[in-house]
Each structure stands twice: as C-alpha cells, then as structure tokens.
Amino acid sequence: MKKIIWIIILHVALCGEIFSQKTDYKNTEWQKNQIKFSPLRIFNWYTPGLELSYQRNYGKYASQISIAYLTAIVDNVYIFTYGDLRSDETFHGYCLNFEEKFFFPKVAKHNMRTFISSEIGYNNIDTKRERTFAPIDVNGKLDEANQYSLNNKMNRQSIIFNVKVGMEFRAKQLTLEWGAGLGFKHQNVQYFDKRTPTDQPVFDEEDIISDFCEKEGRYFIPNFPITFKIGYAF
C-alpha cells in the first residue's frame, strides 16, 4: 500500500509541475467544482460497482478524484467472464483513481470542451466462489488428472495507468463527460485455501478472459478505459 501512495504522490507532483505554468486562458462559463456519478460502472462487465467523482477546475486544467465501491449490483454482470453470476459467489472491493486533465483552449466553447488526461488508479478486489485447481507436474505443466474443486478466495490488486481523450458538456448545472483511452495494469493475483501453495487454477478453454486476467502472480496487461459521467457543477 505504501508503494501505491508514493506512486500517486509522484503523479500529482509531476502534473503539478507541468500545470503550474501561468496561462491567460479563462473560461468563466464553467464552475470550479463538479460532483459526478458513473452509470457505466454499474454495468461494467469485470469490475462493477458504484462510483463517485469530484473534479476541481482551474483555468484550462482540472484534477479529478474518483472512488468506487466494487460489488455485483446487476445480475449476470459477469456474462463475458463466467457466463452468469453464480448464486454462491461473492465479489467486493474498492477502486481509487486520480486524473489530471488538460483542456484544449482553441476548441473550447461555453458549453463544450475537449481534453486529454493522464490517470493513475488502484484496485483491490476479493472474489470467492468454487474454482478448479491442479498441481504442477515435474515438467512444470498442470496435472489435470489430479485436479480438484473447492470454494476459493481470490485477491486481485491492480495499479493502473491510462492516457485518455474526451469531452465535457454542460447545460446550466448539469454536466456530461465521456472519455476513452489506452493504458496498462500491473496485476498481483493471489489464490488462497489451495491444497498446496504451488497449485494453479484450471480455466475452461472458452474462458479466455479469466485465463488472461486472473492468472496467479504479478504481470502487466493492457487496459482500454471507457468512461461516461453525469455531474452537477457548482
């Protein structure tokens, strides 16, 4: 957790150094503060939950902090991962994101503006359900002949870095934001309650996403963020 805090501090410091330069850009039509809700997070196919954000505008820059409580709110939200949300499965965690935005002055209007941003985040998620495991044989491969199933807890921690582009719209106090981008996650996935610590999960051949995102260990995977937020400006 200390590493996460230092990474966030470094990100804020670097953005602050870059964005501390004086500018004559002013957009008086946009209020300084925004509180936002992310409806897409409810239907997120892999990390669903409830997400709120606070954004502070200053000139052609803005800082946004987002906090999400991750839990399966809508049934079958795992349709692309497990086929359906199992009745015996538990899923919960949290997400913390910090995003620094730069708005392009030449395309800004009184009710629309375009931005590019850098975002850093941290996810910590626990899931518990029945999973299949197998020991590792002398050749370093799964010994599926001796596989077994048990009710198992998995912890997945992710450090996320994204670069996004997007737009913000306003109608009096109402604001809308959308954005999309490209980034990566550094994952740390751990499985507990196995018969032996070296046993590995066995994924179905069609379960490509779990095989890609839920392998045990530390590794990098690409990330493709898409955001849509509804907010209130004041």
Q: What is the 3-state secondary structure (H, E, C) of 210-226?
A: HHHHCCCEEEEEEECCE
Percent of the chain with pLDDT over 70: 80
Task: Please state, in angstroms and rounded to a whole number, the distance separating the CA atoms of residues 54 and 166.
Answer: 17
Tell me, yes or no, whether 133 lies in a domain.
Answer: no
Could you tell me the residue range of the domain that residue 224 belongs to?
2-6+31-127+156-190+218-233
| CB contact at 8 A, 25 and 59 | yes
Confirm whether 209 is domain-assigned.
Answer: no
Residue 120 lies in a domain: yes
- Any idea of the CA torsion for 54, 213, 209, 88, to the nearest 10 degrees? -80
Kindly report, residue by residue over 175-201, the tens digit of the pLDDT.
999 999 999 999 999 999 899 889 999
Confidence of residue 116 (pLDDT cuts 50, 70, 90): very high
% helix, strand, coil for the chain, step of 5: 15, 55, 30
Mean pLDDT in residue range 132-149: 89
What is the pLDDT at residue 80? 42
Check pLDDT > 60 for residue 85.
no
pLDDT at residue 134, as a whole number:
93
Enter the pTM of the model.
Answer: 0.80
Domain assignment of residue 64, yes or no? yes
Return the CA Rg of the chain: 21
At residue 11, the pLDDT reads 56
pLDDT of residue 48: 87
Q: Encode pLDDT of 45-80 as tens digits.
A: 778 899 999 999 998 999 999 999 998 876 645 444
Residue 11, domain member (yes or no): no
Q: Is residue 184 part of a domain?
A: yes
What confidence score (pLDDT) does residue 24 get?
A: 44
CA-to-CA separations, 192 to 43, 48, 200, in angstroms, rounded: 28, 23, 11
Count: domains in the chain: 1
**Residue 132 maps to a domain:** no
Please report, for the domain that includes residue 106, its CATH number: 2.40.160.20
Q: Between 110 and 232, where is the model more confident?
A: 232
- Whether 53 is covered by a domain: the verdict is yes
- CA 190 vs CA 48, 95, 164, 215: distances in Å: 20, 18, 29, 9
